[in-house]
Structure 1
Amino acid sequence: MMRDDIHSTGIPVLCTSCEARHRGLCGVLTPSELVFLARSSTKHVVQPGEELVSEALPIDRYSNVLSGVVKLKKMLSDGRQQIVGLQFAPDFLGRLFMIESNVTAEAATEVSLCSFSRSALEQLTTRQPDLERRLLQQTARELDQARAWMLTLGRRTAAEKVASFILMISENIDPGAGPAKSFDLPLSRSDIADFLGLTIETVSRQLTKLRTDGVLTIENNRHVTIEKP
């Protein structure tokens, strides 16, 4: 039986207002290809702390991030973790044609996802070169971002690292609206320290200095307003 929100012709209802439909992976798909993918898709919301993908476990579904922030983690054998990246809307969550994930993906905030079967997406890539190209473009963009972040971690001061993190969140937290002046930090102080390779105390000191210098204000320990871009 066909789902009520999927048409046999035209764009599926669940795709018409989707962020990924206009700016993300699905933007290159034709209406008939969207219908094909939508037959195996589900939209769902996950809460902060919920695991979306597990490291070293088989991958059977991929997802588009529709809203919220996802943190990507690597685990060491002794239980320590390192946050190695963040994903925002309309990023694609997964690695095409990989049997298992090499990272753990966890919701840093409430996250809305559109998930679809691995087999359906891989079928589409065989007949839609633009889809494969879009995935390659995202992979290249993530590689560029990783290299830029290596520079931040390796060469910038603690103050510059914290400022770079604030700027990253501002530019990505609401991609459809441009850089945000006011937003909630998606990570705890502990996670920010982990992501930046700093101690929690250093992160707190640098945030306090930015606030004292009038660069930003912080309310309820989480809500940031940038006063001086």
Structure 2
Amino acid sequence: MDMARSLPAANFCQACTVRNRAICADLDDEEINLLNAIGRRKTLQPGEQLLWEGEEAVLVANVIDGVLKLSTSTGDGKEQILGVVYQSDFLGRPFGQTTPYGVEALTEAQVCVFQRSDFDRFAREHPRLEHKLLERTLSELDRTRRWMLLLGRMNAEQKLASFLIETADRLAPAGPSGADGSVSRVELPLSRQQIADVLGLTIETVSRQFTRMRKDGIIAIAGRRDITILDRVALQERAG
């Protein structure tokens, strides 16, 4: 681990912007101090890898800021993006021997990293954290089931609309919102090709859907990744 860019987590928790939503949310101050002793804050640059698929599960981490992607390699060596993680999401496989997916930063990101063995021991000794892990696991299972529905049953328009809604909900708005909350600006973490790969579509189909939504006044497009949702109700209707 790069010690110049990995700092002790102590003193960070009190000012942590995601503490109330993170895996450690239910811990008391004494438990937080104990967790601090085994954690470190690390900064990742775009394109930097945190975890490698199939390797020994050495680390687990909590996302403090930024966006990262989860990916796997297909039989022909191509990358398949499994999902995107945001602030307060948990990464890695506690109590596991190998890492099931690769993790790469899409933007500059900050994470709190823990040696998996230290984290496993702490979780066993502190049932509230172990309970939170179970809650997160079940929530992730629910998200996976919804994603399977999205990929298997929805048409291209529904898929892209659902993706935009989820992304807008997970990312803090980058601009002002209307009085009814219907207008929000989103800097997409994925390129159009990556969005197409995630949704099981071609890039041409994704581009056509973006163009159609723009012409219909549902979104505005200021750049390849700069999207403003102008009519959230209409977007939700497109999502089905």
Same fold (TM over 0.5): yes
Query: How big is each residue's C-alpha offset from its partner over 1:83-126, in whole Å with a ceiling of 9 and x where there is no partner?
Result: 11211110111111111111111112222111122222112112
Partner of residue 142, structure 1: 140
In 2, the alpha carbon distance for the partners of 1:129 and 1:43 equals 24
* TM-score, normalised via structure 2 length: 0.86
Partner of residue 224, structure 2: 221
Partner secondary structure for residue 83 of structure 1: strand
Deviation at 1:20, TM superposition (A): 3.8
Name the amino acid aligned to 1:131.
L
* Residue 185 (structure 1) aligned with residue 183 (structure 2): no
Partner secondary structure for residue 81 of structure 2: strand
* Residue 159 (structure 1) aligned with residue 160 (structure 2): no
Partner secondary structure for residue 19 of structure 1: coil
In 1, the alpha carbon distance for the partners of 2:52 and 2:105 equals 12
Partner of residue 194, structure 1: 197
> Are the structure 2 counterparts of residues 5 and 110 from structure 1 closer, same or farther at C-alpha, using a change threshold of 3 Å?
closer
Partner secondary structure for residue 172 of structure 2: coil
Partner of residue 92, structure 1: 90
Partner of residue 69, structure 1: 67
* Residue 22 (structure 1) aligned with residue 25 (structure 2): no
Q: Which runs of 5+ in 2 are unaligned?
A: 1-6, 233-240
Partner of residue 203, structure 1: 206
| Residue of 35, 54, 64 corresponding to 1:56 | 54
Partner secondary structure for residue 78 of structure 1: coil
Name the amino acid aligned to 1:123.
R
Deviation at 1:19, TM superposition (A): 3.2
Partner of residue 128, structure 2: 130
Which runs of structure 1 show a deviation greater than 2 angstroms over 4 or more consecutive aligned residues?
none
Deviation at 1:127, TM superposition (A): 1.8
Partner of residue 3, structure 2: none
Give the number of aligned pairs: 219
CA contact (8 A) 2:71 2:82 kept: yes
CA contact (8 A) 2:184 2:229 kept: yes
Name the amino acid aligned to 1:204.
S
CA contact (8 A) 1:38 1:116 kept: no
Report the aligned-residue RMSD: 2.0
CA contact (8 A) 2:72 2:80 kept: yes
Q: Which moved more, 1:70-79 or 1:158-167?
A: 70-79
CA contact (8 A) 2:8 2:41 kept: no
Partner secondary structure for residue 137 of structure 1: helix
Partner of residue 236, structure 2: none
Deviation at 1:5, TM superposition (A): 7.4
Partner of residue 9, structure 1: none
Deviation at 1:30, TM superposition (A): 2.2
Partner secondary structure for residue 201 of structure 2: coil
Q: Which runs of 5+ in 1 are unaligned?
A: 7-11
